[in-house]
Amino acid sequence: MYRLLLSTAALAMLGNAATAQTEIQWWHAMGGELGARLEGIATEFNASQSEFRVVPSFKGTYPETLTAAIAAFRAREQPAIVQVFEVGTGTMMAAKGAVYPVFQLMADMGEPFDQNAFLPAVVGYYTDADGNMLSMPFNSSTPIVYYNRDVFAKAGLDRDTPPKTWEELEAFSRQIMSSGAAPCGFTSGWISWVQTENFSAWHNQPIGTNENGFGAIDSQLTFNGPVQVRHWENLKRWQDEGLFQYGGPVGGNDAPPKFYAQECAIYMNSSASRAGVVANSKDFEVGYGMLPYYADVAGAPQNSIIGGATLWVLQGRPEAEYRGVAKFFSYLSSPEVQASWSEPTGYLPITQAAYEYSQSNGFYAANPGAEIPIKQITLNPPTDNSKGLRFGNYVQIRTVIDEEFQALLGGSKTAQQALDAVVARGNALIAEFAAANR
Amino acid sequence: MKRTLFRNQFLPWFLLAPQLAVTAVFFLWPAGQAVWQSFLRQDAFGFSVTFVALENYAALYADPFYRNSLQVTLVFALLVTTLSLGVALVLAVAVDRMLRSAPAYTTLIVWPYAVAPAIAGILWWFMFNPTIGILAYVLKQWGYNWNHQLNAGNAMTLVVIAAAWKQVSYNFLFFVAGLQSIPASLREAAAIDGAGPVKRFFTITLPLLAPTTFFLMVVNVVYAMFDTFPVIDATTEGGPVQATTILVYKVYMDGFVGLNLGSSAAQSVVLMGIVIFLTVMQFRYVERRVNY
């Protein structure tokens, strides 16, 4: 009985302590393992100091989280921090009255903040025209190649050499199929992000006008260049020959099982798929490699671009909360916290110091392949074609890319027609966005 | 028709007030909002709002994908209704002939109705999944390469089966009840006059089931048009190339995913028009023609 009373009293005191703290709402879209790690970071931050309490809440998928935050903003019930995926960047940037730019927040709150400490390839995606950081990079990844070393050996290929070029990838796939080592050469997640956007950046081909949309809100897409058309044409041909198997729209839900079941020997997907790949490849050995390129395209390989999400701060919260947000962001960018997030998940470390920290603690030596994504995004200094992309309504443009790719694979359009349609439909969406945000 | 006369003029209004309030708050006000928003163009956060009159509707009219969606909805509703009514009728007639085992059989058939649409969608998606699905595997053994991610016909078949499967239970219950209310003497008389089972079914059972069938038809069309969102979202997400994007799913895609509130509101208003049309049809035409 005494014990019960005591614990009740203790709980009541805890409750009091909690009300004295400033609560900071953090809406995010990380489910499962990633969500658990994210909550862990918040808990550790809360334990590290007593003034603020970060309260993460899971709001569903990326689009759902963005929609929820916008609806909340319109109802004046917005959280202080919201996680927004990279293609929502255009939407957030255009909403100048809604967002509190991170560089300004850190300056206003007197929090030390050095933008140069962040990896340029990551930050470049989220800066305004003057080079100021608008949102806080959180989970950034880039696509890489995963391959089945056992199948490679069985097919008579070198188990330590991933395909460097698309020409090699085609030859390897043929050998894998003809030797009977596996029924399919390769599959890919994210046709839009991996085989179209990253493909363009990797070959230093423009995705759109005005530096891929960074320069102006009313830009035009230029996906229908000869290099992209050639690649889509090849994908269609490879799919007809069975070398390539389509994994479905958006993230390509059917691609991972094809690789896990050893049906397809090569698999392209986000570096953050690494944890899943490791967990599901108990029966075979996995190798890692950079994205392939066409050897005859001048300027390839350039550098790949990132995907993932950043943390945006919304306007209209009390000043005290913003002080906490600034403190939390400093905490988040410390090398130890970065390592505890990037090492188990496969996301990129976002600062130079965090990268060096993971190097010095022996993480990359112990985990072969884990360093490939960061080497790939920093392969060359980013050009206007390879620092990222920024277009309004891009969430819908991603859908358009998927639809036209399906039309291509289904045989109703040629690669040129499909990509021309992507550009035409995408430009209409961008124009609509520009009109709505004038 | 009996009429009640109130002395006090305010009493009837007072008695109606709760219902009127509910209707106003939950139906008229949001519907009015949708109509108003359909005339506006605004950014997602609502900072810049411009009145564009009928521009959103004009854009819909000019959009080939919207016309495609109308057609998809029509085909989908027809197929779901036909399939679920047809299968349910066959099952109900079969049950009607059983004496002892009917209750057990009925219970089993009603089970799927308890399954949430999203779960039903996932179940069928699993079975037809080109990579891991058992039905896709069986079809491949027979030489048919099932792929609902690229083949529009496959995708439509999948969503129709998933949507109709659940509705069969509901229709079945109504058909069983309808069959039981048909007097056995009619069929016996016909049998004595020499009509075979097929003839009896088409000349006696089916016409007498007409009220049930008409009622179920309206319910099923409404179900297929408005309640199948979870099935579509869990199976095809409207693809490939919007081959299974029904109107409701397009409202969601354009409004909640694309954040194009004006167009989404305009589409909702069109849907509202369709609902009003269906309701008027039911009351004016169907309910009058059918003799209960």
Tens digit of pLDDT for each residue in A417-433?
999 999 999 999 999 88
What CA–CA distance (Å, rounded) separates A426 from A192? 13
- Report pLDDT for B1: 52
**pLDDT of residue A4 exceeding 90:** no
Mean pLDDT of A237-250: 92
Whether A314 shows a pLDDT value over 90: the answer reads yes
Give the CB-side neighbour count of residue B7, counting CA atoms within 13 A.
0
List CB contacts (< 8 A) between B131 and chain A: 254, 257-258, 261, 263
The rounded distance, in Å, linking the Cα atoms of A160 and A141 is 24
Facing residue for B47 by CB, picked from A95, A250, A412: A95
What's the token pair of residue A201?
């950046």
CB count in 10 Å sphere of residue B101: 9
Q: Could you give the CA distance from residue A243 to residue A234 in angstroms, rounded to a whole number?
A: 10
Report the candidate in A413, A387, A376, A391 with the shortest Cα–Cα distance to residue A271: A376
Identify the pLDDT of residue B288.
61
For residue range A7-32, list pLDDT tens digits in order: 544 444 444 444 578 999 999 999 88
**Sorting pLDDT into bands at 50, 70 and 90, what band is A96?**
confident
Res A250: pLDDT: 83
Residues 70-109 of A with CB under 8 A from B: 70, 73-74, 91, 94-98
Q: Tell me, what DSSP letter sits at residue B28?
A: I
* Strand partners of residue B93: none
Q: What is the pLDDT of residue B292?
A: 47
3-state helix, strand, coil in chain B (%, to 5): 75, 0, 25
- CB contact under 8 Å between B46 and A74, yes or no, is yes
Torsional sign, CA B151, B155, B156, B160: positive
Q: Give the H/E segment covering residue A401.
A: helix A394-410
d(CA B279, CA A420): 43
Do residue A395 and residue B47 have CB atoms under 8 angstroms apart? Answer: no
pLDDT of residue B2: 59
Say how far apart CA A204 and CA A297 lie, in whole Å.
9
Residues of B in contact with A435 (CB under 8 A): 41
Contact B253 A74 (CB under 8 A): no
Residue reference for tokens 């570096």: A271
Angstrom distances, CA of residue A392 to CA of A99, A121, A132, A306, B58: 16, 21, 19, 18, 22
Q: Is pLDDT above 80 for A213?
A: yes
User: Where do the domains of chain B lie?
Assistant: 52-57+64-289
Contact between A90 and A433 under an 8 Å Cβ cutoff? The reply is yes
What pLDDT, on the 0 to 100 scale, is given for residue A393? 87
Distance CA(A242)–CA(A174), nearest Å, equals: 9
Q: Which tokens belong to A276?
A: 């899943």
Q: Is B131 on the interface with A (CB under 8 A)?
A: yes
Instruction: Measure CB to CB from residue B131 to each of A258, A393, A395 and give the nearest one.
Output: A258
Distance CA A313, CA A136 (A): 9
User: How far does A264 lie from chain B, in Å, by closest CA?
Assistant: 11
Contacts (Cβ under 8 Å, ≥6 apart) of B241: A403, A404, A406, A407, A410, A412, B152
Longest dimension (CA), chain B: 78
Angstroms from B70 CA to nearest CA on chain A: 18
**Does the CB of A413 have a partner CB in chain B at under 8 Å?**
no
For residue A308, give both structure tokens: 């993932």
Average pLDDT, integer, range A98-125: 90
Rounded to the nearest 5°, which phi and psi values hold at A158? Answer: -75, 120
Tokens representing B238 are: 């409207």
- Region B52-57+64-289: CATH code: 1.10.3720.10
Mean pLDDT value across chain A = 90
Residue A81, SS3?
strand
**Which CATH number does A2-141+306-366 carry?**
3.40.190.10
Helix/strand/coil percent split, chain A, to 5: 50, 15, 35
- Residue that the structure tokens 């070393």 belong to: A149
pLDDT score recorded for residue A1: 43
Instruction: Determine the residue of chain A that is closest to B130 in CA distance.
Output: A254
Please give the C-alpha separations between residue A266 and each of A97, A172, A197, A233, in angstroms, as whole numbers: 46, 10, 20, 19
CATH superfamily of A143-304+391-436: Periplasmic binding protein-like II (3.40.190.10)
**A249:B237 CB<8 A:** yes
The upper half-sphere exposure of residue A225, i.e. CA atoms within 13 Å in the direction of its Cβ, equals 20
Query: First vs last Cα of chain A: how many Å apart?
Result: 67
Nearest to A396 among B130, B152, B258 (CB): B258
Is B45 near chain A, with CB under 8 Å? yes
The token pair at B111 is 């089970």
Contact A435 B41 (CB under 8 A): yes
Contact yes or no for A181/A279 (Cβ under 8 A): no
- Nearest chain A residue to B56 by CA distance is A432
What is the spatial distance between Cα A73 and Cα A396, in angstroms, rounded to a whole number?
Answer: 22
Cis, peptide link before residue A183, omega less than 30° from 0? no
- Beta strand A184-188 with A244-246 is parallel
- Whether residue A116 contacts residue A103, with contact meaning beta carbons closer than 8 Å, is answered with no
**In whole angstroms, what is the distance from residue B100 CA to residue B3 CA?**
48
Nearest by CB to residue A403, choosing from B42, B45, B241, is B241
Kindly give the pairing relationship between strand A136-141 and strand A143-148.
unpaired
Inter-chain contact A249–B149, Cβ cutoff 8 Å?
Answer: yes
Residues 6 or more apart in contact with residue A382 via CB below 8 angstroms: A120, A121, A124, A302, A303, A388
Q: What is the mean pLDDT of residues A314-338?
A: 93
Per the listing, tokens 């100091």 go with: A49
Give the residue ranges of chain B where pLDDT is below 50.
292
Burial of A320 (0-12, 13-18, 19+ CB in 10 A): middle
Half-sphere exposure of B227 (CA within 13 A, CB side): 16
Average pLDDT over residues A362-373: 90
pLDDT digits (tens, 9 = 90+) for B180-206: 888 888 888 888 988 888 888 888 888
E strand or H helix that includes residue B22? helix B10-23
State the pLDDT at residue A31.
Answer: 84
Does A143-304+391-436 match A2-141+306-366 at the fold level? yes
Instruction: Please tell me the distance from the alpha carbon of residue A419 to that of residue A413, in angstroms, as a whole number.
Output: 9
Q: Do B45 and A70 touch (CB under 8 A)?
A: yes
The answer to whether A75 and A348 have CB atoms below 8 angstroms apart is no
Q: Does B257 touch chain A (CB under 8 A)?
A: yes
Cβ(A167)–Cβ(A295) below 8 Å: yes
Between chain A and chain B, the number of residue pairs with CB atoms below 8 A apart is 87
What token pair was written down for A293? 């390129």
Handedness of CA B118, B122, B128, B131 (dihedral sign): positive
CB B101 within 8 A of CB B278: no
Q: How far is A11 from chain B (nearest CA, A)?
A: 40
Boundaries of every domain in chain A: 2-141+306-366, 143-304+391-436
Question: Which residues, at least 6 apart from A202, have a Cβ–Cβ distance to it below 8 Å?
Answer: A291, A293, A300, A301, A302, A303, A304, A386
- Residue A52 belongs to what H/E stretch? strand A52-58
The Cα-based distances of B202 to A350, B83, B206, B211, B218 in angstroms read 73, 19, 5, 15, 22
How far is Cα A395 from Cα A89, in angstroms, rounded to an integer?
A: 10
DSSP 8-state symbol, A175: H
| Rounded distance between C-alpha atoms, residue B185 and residue B190, angstroms | 8
